[in-house]
């Protein structure tokens, strides 16, 4: 179905052609007259039209890529949190006005139509969402860059709040089908688990033969990644696990029905679920299977395609291919690529090692010890016998080299081993096997160099670099905040929207002083607040006061992110209002959202506390319109797109040194919210960009936290004893204040008995102070809007286009 004129290079799309095509398509998918069609039919029709357009471009792109003229980037990641795609495709195709106007004329509700798309939750949070932003930017900048991951049958659970507690419901995102993927059974590959490795001499050379293994079929599903108004269409390839034969007939025929079924479900279990913990390492066999699954399948196809277009040779592979590993989950790329080069391609070890290091680069995303992966050696050895042998050899050679170069530092050398204490240390494997290691913000990269990986930094100083994260403005600003987009276009022209050009938003700076501009900015914020208030009213029945400050903290629930600090401050405000209902405070609405890992009991207690407090505060007539607390259930990409544009204060209050970067902070800033935060992660760079006058910072620095943690000296009880506000609040957590059954002993104990690991009490007083300062600034709306404009003007460096350009220059060197 052509809606474009294929004879012209720049395709002509007339509204009339689109209208006809759309009506026809709706009738095809529904089998009925257009007037009888449902929103579902309309969604399916538009999705099909979009896919037809994109797949035509995709084919052209793929054939260009097959020629291997350009260097290709492959992002290996266990998560890709892509969010809904329909609107992003429409916008990137440049169809937005045409689609909006046509649907409007046809009486079709475009928003409702978009809501038919199930938000694919194939990631937990920041790590997976970053990959999605990177794919968008890579395509927008016209680089050939692709994703490689897992097509989970169940994405991250859906969160419901029942009796104030988080309840998890399975997310069956594929139940109505998914229109944006193309399955390629002919490109399926076999992944081998378990079995034995036999050595055999062939022509004087040792061969390693893996036999008696359990094969699993990896079937690729490709999703196109369309560049913003350009010709690039890259791919996100997600692998699904299937039994090699759909049904093990021979076992079945021997009468072993259950066994035959079991084989099938064992194979399929590999791509069944996304592990729902975003910073916790579980050490489960199934997770290790998942890690090898997409690594092995992804590399196999990349190598096959490379060889096909290079006369069967792998010699130039590192010059044409970048394997970028997103955190340590795909670190098995290192031994797997070695296995391919040595066992299958016959390269000598040293040459293969050199090629491997040149091909692979590694991004670390966290310094939290509980997230650093360490697999039991026996598990790896049994599941991946040949890969394990290669890891052993990499480790042996590495330690030998270290002991040769640094004979006086045997202890340090051993501490860097991949294999020690009965475990495989994945971060060590990733660093040793890559030519580039980077953190995701300046501060985080500094901590990697000076603390977490300081021994590696001493040995490989040139390998370490830093690339600050970024987010795609096309989804999180241009797409979700159309009012702001139009205001910016009208004020400074449209150049800032060109990929890679967002820093030209600085042209906005002079307008920050302009009262008329600031008024428009305020009106847009007001409309976005009303939109969010409407959503919350419809979904939760809570009525918000759009004149109050919208103070927002949305992200995964984790102790280090300190949602607890936020809610303790809310309780303080509530206490103040109870003792003086007429207190002159600026009305405030606290909006929180985020999921806790189902097994993270403490985080779930925090969710319960937030909801209990919300219940109490929102139903107390005393506080009137001055204080509201809302916990928005099931935070995901779609909900986020409604929340960010409506926020005025962006809460980024992690314990300093713990949040690697944060990316929500950037999304808020682009939408004109002011950051209220600690000097942690990318907040530090936000502060540098906007200047200290345009951000609210407070609390311990990362060095202070580090010093307390290494030298001691912090006693939370002392802070508690010297602050009567804290005594009252913590008392309320356990004395039945929030209702007989609503005690929070675990939280209370963590703060006082276990000395408050995340310095919540220590940072409480400065947090209260900065909150007061922010409220006072808000009274001066002129000042507030000016600060907001300055934040928007400086948000360009936090575009993921900038991140990708930095990776290009510092790591991949594509050009």
Cβ proximity to ligand C3B: between 133 and 570 the closer is 133
CB of 366 to ligand C3B, least distance (A): 4
Q: Contact region for ligand C3B (CB under 6 A) — 66-74, 381-389, 657-665, 805-813?
A: 657-665
278 counts as binding ligand C3B under rule CB under 6 A: yes
User: For residue 811, what are the contacts with CB-CB under 8 A and spacing of at least 6?
Assistant: 322, 324, 361, 436, 438, 465, 467
Residue 347 φ/ψ, nearest 5 degrees: -75, 150
Give the angle subtended at the CA of 318 by the CAs of 312 and 319, to the nearest 5°: 95
Is 4 marked active-site?
no
Q: Which of 226, 365, 444, 475 is catalytic?
A: 365
Closest CA to 79 of 45, 129, 23: 129
Name the token pair of 685.
């760079």
589 counts as binding ligand C3B under rule CB under 6 A: no
Residues numbered 313-342 forming contacts with ligand C3B, rule: CB under 6 A: 327
Say whether 26 sits in a helix, a strand or coil.
Answer: helix
Is 555 marked active-site?
yes
Is 210 marked active-site?
no
Closest CA to 720 of 772, 756, 769: 756
CB of 797 to ligand C3B, least distance (A): 15
The answer to whether 617 and 574 are in contact (CB under 8 A) is: yes
681 counts as binding ligand C3B under rule CB under 6 A: yes
Say whether 159 sits in a helix, a strand or coil.
Answer: strand
Is 87 marked active-site?
no
Is 71 marked active-site?
no
365 counts as binding ligand C3B under rule CB under 6 A: yes
Name the token pair of 454.
């300081």
Q: Contact region for ligand C3B (CB under 6 A) — 32-40, 220-228, 252-260, 658-666?
A: 658-666
Closest CA to 664 of 556, 768, 767: 556
Q: Which of 13, 242, 556, 802 is catalytic?
A: 556
CB of 74 to ligand C3B, least distance (A): 18
Q: Contact region for ligand C3B (CB under 6 A) — 122-130, 154-162, 631-639, 685-693?
A: 122-130
Q: Beta 182-183 vs 233-243: how paired, if at all?
A: unpaired
Is 365 marked active-site?
yes
CB atoms inside a 10 Å sphere around CB 242: 18
Check residue 755 and give left, alpha or beta (phi > 0: left; psi -120 to 50: alpha). left
Q: Which of 386, 474, 667, 794 is catalytic?
A: 667
Say whether 649 sits in a helix, a strand or coil.
Answer: strand
637 counts as binding ligand C3B under rule CB under 6 A: no
Q: Rounded to whole angstroms, how far apart are CA atoms 43 and 269?
A: 31
Question: Which strand (E) or helix (H) includes residue 210?
Answer: strand 205-211
611 counts as binding ligand C3B under rule CB under 6 A: no
Among 48, 248, 648, 659, binds ligand C3B (CB under 6 A): 659
DSSP 419-471: EETTEEEHHHHHHHT-SEEEESSHHHHHHIIIIITHHHHHH-GGGEEE----B
Among 126, 144, 155, 220, binds ligand C3B (CB under 6 A): 126
Cβ proximity to ligand C3B: between 195 and 276 the closer is 276
Q: Rounded to whole angstroms, how far apart are CA atoms 26 and 96?
A: 19
Closest-by-Cβ residue to ligand C3B is: 126
432 counts as binding ligand C3B under rule CB under 6 A: no
Cβ proximity to ligand C3B: between 43 and 375 the closer is 375
440 counts as binding ligand C3B under rule CB under 6 A: yes
The answer to whether 439 and 364 are in contact (CB under 8 A) is: yes
The answer to whether 698 and 769 are in contact (CB under 8 A) is: yes
CB of 556 to ligand C3B, least distance (A): 7
146 counts as binding ligand C3B under rule CB under 6 A: no
Q: Which of 324, 555, 762, 794 is catalytic?
A: 555
117 counts as binding ligand C3B under rule CB under 6 A: no
Cβ proximity to ligand C3B: between 356 and 661 the closer is 661
279 counts as binding ligand C3B under rule CB under 6 A: yes
Among 21, 121, 127, 811, binds ligand C3B (CB under 6 A): 127
Closest CA to 226 of 472, 482, 505: 472
Q: 520-531 burial by CB neighbour count: b if 16+ within 10 A, else e?
A: bbbebbeebbeb
Name the token pair of 531.
């939109």
524 counts as binding ligand C3B under rule CB under 6 A: no
Among 26, 103, 130, 632, binds ligand C3B (CB under 6 A): 130
Counting Cα atoms < 13 Å in the Cβ hemisphere of 439 gives: 25
663 counts as binding ligand C3B under rule CB under 6 A: yes
Question: Which strand (E) or helix (H) includes residue 90?
Answer: helix 86-93
CB of 662 to ligand C3B, least distance (A): 5
Q: Contact region for ligand C3B (CB under 6 A) — 45-53, 249-257, 286-294, 656-664?
A: 656-664
Helix axes 764-779, 724-734, angle to 10 degrees: 100
CB of 371 to ligand C3B, least distance (A): 5
Cβ proximity to ligand C3B: between 430 and 440 the closer is 440
Size of the site for ligand C3B (CB under 6 A): 18
Cβ proximity to ligand C3B: between 371 and 789 the closer is 371
Q: Which residues bind ligand C3B (CB under 6 A)?
A: 125-127, 130, 278-279, 327, 365-366, 371, 440, 469, 659-663, 681
Among all residues, which ones are annotated catalytic?
Answer: 365, 555-556, 561, 663, 667
């Amino acid at each position: 179905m052509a809606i474009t004129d294929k004879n012209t290079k720049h395709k002509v799309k007339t509204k009339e052609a689109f209208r006809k095509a759309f009506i026809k398509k709706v009738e095809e998918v529904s089998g009925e007259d257009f007037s009888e069609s449902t929103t579902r039919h309309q969604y399916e029709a538009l999705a099909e039209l979009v896919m037809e357009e994109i797949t035509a471009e995709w084919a052209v792109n793929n054939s260009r890529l097959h020629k291997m003229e350009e260097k290709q980037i492959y992002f290996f990641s266990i998560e890709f949190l892509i969010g809904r795609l329909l609107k992003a495709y429409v916008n990137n195709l440049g169809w937005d006005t045409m689609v909006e106007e046509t649907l409007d004329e046809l009486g079709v509700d475009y928003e409702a139509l978009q809501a038919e798309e199930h938000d694919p939750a194939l990631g937990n949070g920041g790590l997976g969402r970053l990959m999605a932003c990177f794919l968008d930017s890579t395509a927008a900048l016209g680089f050939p860059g692709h994703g490689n991951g897992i097509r989970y049958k169940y994405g991250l659970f859906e969160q419901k709040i029942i009796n104030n507690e988080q309840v998890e419901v399975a997310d069956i995102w594929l139940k109505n089908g998914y229109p944006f993927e193309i399955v390629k059974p002919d490109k399926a590959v076999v992944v081998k688990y378990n079995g034995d490795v036999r050595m055999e001499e062939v022509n004087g050379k040792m061969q390693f033969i893996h036999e008696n293994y359990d094969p699993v079929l990896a079937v690729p599903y490709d999703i196109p990644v369309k560049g913003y108004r350009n010709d690039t269409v890259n791919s996100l390839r997600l692998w699904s696990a299937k039994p090699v034969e759909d049904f093990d007939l021979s076992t079945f025929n021997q009468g072993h029905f259950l066994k035959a079924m079991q084989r099938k479900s064992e194979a399929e279990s590999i791509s069944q679920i996304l592990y729902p913990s975003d910073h916790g390492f579980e050490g489960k066999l199934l997770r290790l299977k998942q890690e090898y699954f997409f690594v092995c399948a992804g590399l196999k196809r990349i190598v096959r395609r490379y060889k096909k277009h290079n006369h069967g040779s792998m010699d130039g592979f590192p010059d044409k291919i970048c394997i970028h590993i997103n955190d340590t989950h795909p670190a098995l790329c290192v031994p797997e690529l070695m296995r391919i080069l040595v066992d299958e391609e016959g390269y000598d070890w040293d040459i293969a090692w050199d090629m491997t290091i040149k091909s692979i680069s590694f991004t670390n995303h966290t310094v939290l010890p509980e997230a650093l992966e360490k697999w039991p050696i026996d598990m790896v050895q049994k599941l991946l016998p040949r890969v394990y042998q290669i890891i052993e050899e990499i480790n042996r050679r590495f330690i030998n080299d270290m002991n040769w170069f640094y004979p006086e530092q045997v202890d340090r050398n051993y501490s860097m081993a991949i294999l020690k204490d009965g475990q495989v240390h994945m971060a060590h494997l990733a660093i040793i096997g890559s030519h580039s290691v980077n953190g995701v913000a300046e501060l985080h990269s500094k901590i990697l160099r000076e603390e977490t990986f300081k021994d590696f930094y001493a040995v490989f100083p040139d390998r370490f670099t830093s690339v600050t994260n970024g987010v795609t403005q096309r989804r999180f600003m241009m797409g979700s905040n159309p009012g702001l987009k139009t205001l910016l276009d009208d004020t400074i022209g449209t150049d800032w929207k060109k990929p890679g050009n967002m820093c030209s938003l600085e042209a906005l700076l002079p307008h920050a002083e302009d009262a008329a501009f600031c008024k428009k900015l305020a009106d847009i914020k007001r409309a976005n607040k009303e939109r969010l208030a409407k959503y919350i009213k419809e979904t939760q029945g809570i009525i918000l006061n759009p004149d109050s400050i919208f103070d927002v903290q949305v992200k995964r629930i984790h102790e280090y992110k300190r949602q607890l600090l936020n809610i303790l401050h809310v309780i303080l405000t509530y206490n103040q209002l109870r003792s003086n209902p007429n207190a002159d405070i600026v009305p405030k609405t606290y909006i929180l959202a985020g999921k806790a890992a189902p097994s993270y009991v403490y985080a779930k207690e925090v969710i319960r506390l937030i909801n209990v407090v919300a219940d109490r505060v929102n139903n107390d007539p005393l506080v009137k319109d001055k204080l509201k607390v809302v916990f928005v259930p099931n935070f995901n990409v779609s909900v986020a797109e409604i929340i960010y544009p409506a926020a005025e204060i962006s809460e980024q209050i992690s314990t300093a040194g713990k949040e690697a970067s944060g990316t929500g902070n950037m999304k808020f800033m682009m939408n004109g919210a002011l950051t209220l935060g600690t000097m942690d992660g990318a907040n530090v760079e936000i502060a540098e960009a906007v200047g200290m006058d345009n951000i609210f910072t407070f609390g311990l620095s990362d060095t202070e936290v580090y010093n307390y943690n290494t030298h001691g000296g912090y006693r939370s009880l002392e802070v508690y004893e010297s602050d009567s506000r804290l005594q009252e609040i913590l008392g309320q957590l356990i004395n039945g204040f929030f209702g007989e059954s609503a005690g929070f002993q675990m939280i209370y104990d963590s703060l006082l008995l276990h000395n408050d690991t995340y310095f919540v009490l220590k940072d409480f007083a400065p947090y209260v102070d900065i909150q007061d300062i922010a409220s006072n600034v808000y009274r001066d709306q002129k000042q507030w809007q000016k600060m907001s404009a300055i934040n928007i003007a400086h948000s360009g460096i936090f575009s993921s286009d900038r991140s990708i350009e930095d990776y290009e220059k510092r790591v991949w060197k594509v050009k």
